[in-house]
Amino acid sequence: MPLPLAHAKDSITWMEVNMPPHFIQNGALRGQGYGDIVGELLRQRLPNYEHHRMTTNVVRHFDMFRRGDKVCAIGLYRTSERESFLHFSIPSLLVMPPALILHKGRLENLTAQKTLSLKSLLANSEFRLGISKDRSYGTTLDAVIAQYRHRSGLTVFSGQEIGENYFKMLLLDRLDGLLGLPDEAMFRAEQMGIRDQLVVLPLEENRDDYKGWQCAAVCPKNAWGQEVIARINAILVEIRPTPRYRRAYERWLDANNLPLYRRVYDEIFLATKPQ
């Protein structure tokens, strides 16, 4: 009598991008990105699925989502356009928005404020700021930058990431500040061995837009995706308060931002529940 065929597990392919420290795919810190850690925590709690990981660009991500493939991702922002083809989990990541990156020695000149207004900084023609021309900093900051795009003292560079040369310009007093994400600044500074020399200050323009701090896990907008997201939601409610989950992102913040981040995490991020 023939043996019955084993029931094959359903599968999930997790779509990732090479964007440290969200995902770190090379070097001594490989696998220690906050997306790496959150993804591993989710996969451990989804044993009924066979898991695969794929690194590709965002365009291919969205093509596969629109086709309804059995793919999911961690850490996408919710938009009305994306809601047409994606199921979103409750917030899976709390990520601080773009901020001002400074050499610690500059704090005295800025009266050691805890936050600053980008508009007031750019209105001061003597303040030398470095920004990327190839990325969005969010609608509010983009609008401020557009007002001052042609002012003197603005250093505009190409590419999505802040290169080492611009951090060196901070240290050599050739720039007063850089605009970037707090976690990417600390990752790059750690790679260069200068983490203790930098500080990151939140900007008043985006400090209270907490919705813009929150990303979600996503799967295709079909019955399969809806079921996976329901399972992910239940897991997130369980694991988001745990120390390991919190440390995954906090590890990439400087001390100046931790009190604000922890308050928003406890009061707003953890308060979100599945509907």
Mean pLDDT of 87-111: 87
pLDDT of residue 270: 97
* pLDDT per residue as tens digits for the range 113-136: 556 899 999 998 889 999 988 777
Mean pLDDT of 248-272: 95
Instruction: Give the pTM.
Output: 0.85
Mean pLDDT for all residues in the chain: 90
**CATH architecture assignment, domain 99-206:** 3-Layer(aba) Sandwich (3.40)
Task: Return the top range by mean pLDDT from 130-144, 194-208, 214-228.
Answer: 214-228
Q: What is the DSSP string of the chain?
A: -PPPPPPPPEEEEEEE---TTTS--SSTTTT-SHHHHHHHHHHHT-TTEEEEEEE--HHHHHHHHHHT-SEEEEEE---TTGGGTEEEEEEEEE----EEEEEGGGTGGGTT-S-B-HHHHHHSTT--EEEESSS---HHHHHHHHHTTT-TTEEEE-SSSPPHHHHHHHHTTS-SEEEE-HHHHHHHHHHHT-GGGEEEE-BGGGTT-GGGGEEEEEEESSHHHHHHHHHHHHHHHHHTTSHHHHHHHHTTS-TTTHHHHHHHIIIIITT----
Q: Does domain 10-96+210-269 sit in CATH 3.30.450.20?
A: no
Q: Is residue 87's pLDDT more than 90? A: yes
Q: Is residue 5's pLDDT more than 80? A: no
Domain ranges (residues) in the chain = 10-96+210-269, 99-206
Q: Is residue 75's pLDDT more than 60? A: yes
pLDDT of residue 106: 79
